[in-house]
Amino acid sequence: APLDLAIRGGTVATAADTMRCDVGVRDGRIVALGDDVGPAARTIDAAGLLVLPGGIDSHVHLDQFQGEGIAMADGFRSGTVSAAAGGNTTVIAFALQRRGESLRAAVADYHAKARGEALVDYGFHLIVTDPTPGVLGQELPALVKDGYPSFKVFMTYDDMVLTDRQLLDVFDVARRENALVMVHAEGFDSIRFMADRLEAEGRTEPASHAASRPEVVEREATHRAIALAELAGIPIMVVHVSGREAIEQIEWARRRGLTVHAETCPQYLVLTAADLDRPGTEGAKFVCSPPPRDAESQAAVWRGLAGGTFQTFSSDHCPFRYDDAAGKTGPKARASFRAVPNGIPGVAARLPILFSEGVVKGRITLQDFVALTATNHAKLYGLYPRKGSIAIGADADIALWDPERRVTITQDLMHHGSDYTPYEGLEVTGWPVTTMVRGRVVFDGGRVVAEAGYGAFLPRETSGRRASPEAG
Ligand code: URP
Ligand code: ZN
Ligand code: ZN
Ligand code: ZN
């Protein structure tokens, strides 16, 4: 039978190599790769373009409960439009358990938020905030089997922090069930101590956010998370690693033979703590946790991306508005740094920033780029080989990428619900021109071209954890 679609004349890049070849698609899957894939109902001319596995962003917050009176700026509709605009074909969001709530109820809640809304495929990690005996004994084991084989736990934040004992109890479930635990490693008491001191000195401006959680706070928690994981006998994933000191802890653990995976994000490559130091509350547009650091830490993150310390590069997309829709003060513009919700948008900017600053500037290879933005996410989180590569049998999740297009990042290109981008004005080379999910073009030439709800829920397998990610 003829193909549904042929992508001809492009250059296919995977985590393993780069090759000039055509791609044949039938029933949403890649069924042929080669010089001549035969007749097709539709042809896309990819001459001059890279044919990349669509980005998988394994760290995005969409419509996540944030506290009374604070709305996240993206739900599953606008958040996945923004993802597709940035060349992504899968996002893994979070289902947040509120304390006192069952995890099952949380999962049902987030499914209801996503249903009929998503443009790209999606899964959920489970945020465990209340590890009761029922959650540890019944809910988590059952949910792992139902397609949620990854948990996120927090070592800070009033409503989410777990004690060391609770971390160990969750880690123990992960060991038995073969789940992967993502750890937010910043120390709760250290931050409170620093924030109380800054507040007492009247230092409530956005820059105090960074001052209240210096690298030592992240270093201590990273070390503690690694030690607790060693004790429990599990691999862990340290997410949003910001700089040199946490990296040192991760590399130390690896030398001891421990399996510690690590993720970093665009904010730690192109922003610094100085970005928070702006007149008025403007600096709050850059408030995220851990905060961006300094040039020395940026260099350490680049070394970690090129040298294999990091397996994944995610956005940690966590969008809030600075002004609300009526032009009044939004959550980001709150007066004290302690009241500003943490997080910045980035799902649309992630791939262009890593491609331009990394591949174009010669800091990482194109193969590293694919591994860090797609393949390793699929392997670690149980989506491989269906997602994350260009291979026969895989879903036809593809970003057609113009490696030479020069673009200045601006708010209107992000297609997100925030009213700003922290990357405004950044000049990049390389841009996604067409995003295709399961063989269907969903975003093309700056426009949405499929209906909301096309994106499907992806139950995931634990076996992905045992596929080893490519060294960066
Ligand atoms: O500041 C951040 N990163 N907010 C998002 C939530 C998280 O901790 O990942
Ligand atoms: Zn976090
Ligand atoms: Zn690893
Ligand atoms: Zn996050």
Q: Chain-wide mean pLDDT for the chain?
A: 97
Mutate to test the pocket of ligand 1, among 66, 160, 240 (most ligand atoms within 8 A of CB): 240
Where residue 472 falls among pLDDT bands split at 50, 70, 90?
very low
Residue 69's pLDDT band, with cuts at 50, 70 and 90, is confident
Express as a percent the part of the chain with pLDDT over 90. Answer: 96
Q: Is the CB of 173 under 6 A from ligand 1?
A: no
What pLDDT is attached to residue 466? 53
The alpha carbon of 311 and the centre of ligand 3 are apart by a number of angstroms equal to: 6
Separation of CA 182 and ligand 4 centre (Å): 10
Arithmetic mean of pLDDT, 358-373: 98
| Ligand 3 centre distance from Cα of residue 468 (Å) | 7
Q: How far is the CA of 239 from the centre of ligand 2 (A)?
A: 7
Q: Is 242 in the pocket of ligand 1 (CB under 6 A)?
A: no
Which has the minimum average pLDDT: 24-38, 315-329, 395-409? 315-329
User: Of all protein residues, whose CA lies closest to atom 4 belonging to ligand 1?
Assistant: 343
Integer angstrom CA distances of residue 449 from 30, 56, 57, 103, 432: 21, 20, 21, 35, 15
Q: Which atom of ligand 1 is nearest to the CA of 288?
A: 1
pLDDT at 327 over 80: no
Residue 467: is its pLDDT beyond 60? Answer: no
Report the pLDDT averaged over residues 53-65: 98
243 Cα to the center of ligand 2, angstroms: 15
pLDDT (mean) for 361-372: 98
- 15-32, pLDDT tens digit by residue? 999 999 999 999 999 999
Rounded to 10 degrees, what is the CA torsion of 39, 40, 45, 47? -40
- Ligand 1 touching residue 238 (CB < 6 A): no
- For residue 422, report the distance from its CA to the centre of ligand 4, in Å: 16
Ligand nearest to the CA of 60: 4
Confidence check: pLDDT of 468 > 70: no
Q: How far is the CA of 392 from the centre of ligand 1 (A)?
A: 36
Res. 324: pLDDT tops 80: no
77 C-beta closer than 6 A to ligand 1:
no
**Averaged pLDDT, 266-284:** 97
Grouping H, G, I as helix, E, B as strand and the rest as coil, residue 355 is: helix
pLDDT score recorded for residue 81: 99
Q: How far apart are the first and last CA of the chain?
A: 39
Nearest ligand, CA of residue 253?
3
**Separation between Cα atoms, residue 439 and residue 395, nearest integer Å:** 7
pLDDT level of residue 470 (50, 70, 90 thresholds): low
Q: Determine contact, residues 189/158, Cβ cutoff 8 Å.
A: no
Model confidence at 329, pLDDT cuts 50, 70, 90, reads: confident
> Average pLDDT for residues 325-339, to the nearest whole number?
90
Q: Collapsing DSSP states into helix, strand and coil, what is residue 261?
A: strand
- Residue with the smallest CA separation from ligand 1 atom 2 is 343
**pLDDT for residue 463 is more than 80:** no
Ligand 1 centre and the CA of 51: distance in Å? 31
Q: Could you identify the atom of ligand 1 that is nearest to the CA of residue 184?
A: 8
Gyration radius of the chain over CA positions: 21
277 and 208 in contact (C-beta within 8 Å)?
A: no
Q: Does position 431 have pLDDT exceeding 70, yes or no?
A: yes
CA-to-CA separations, 457 to 90, 123, 460, in angstroms, rounded: 10, 6, 10
Tell whether the model's pLDDT for residue 380 goes beyond 90.
yes
Question: Is it the case that residue 433 has pLDDT exceeding 50?
Answer: yes
> What is the per-residue pLDDT across 147-190, written as a single tens digit (0 to 9) for each?
999 999 999 999 999 999 999 999 999 999 999 999 999 999 99
Which residues surround the ion ligand 4 when the cut-off is CB under 5 Å?
Answer: 316
Nearest of 311, 314, 330, 334 to residue 322 by alpha carbon: 330
**Residue 88, ligand 1, Cβ within 6 A:** no
- Model pLDDT for residues 389-406, shown as the tens digit of each residue: 999 999 999 999 999 999
- Residue list, CB under 5 A from ion ligand 2: 184
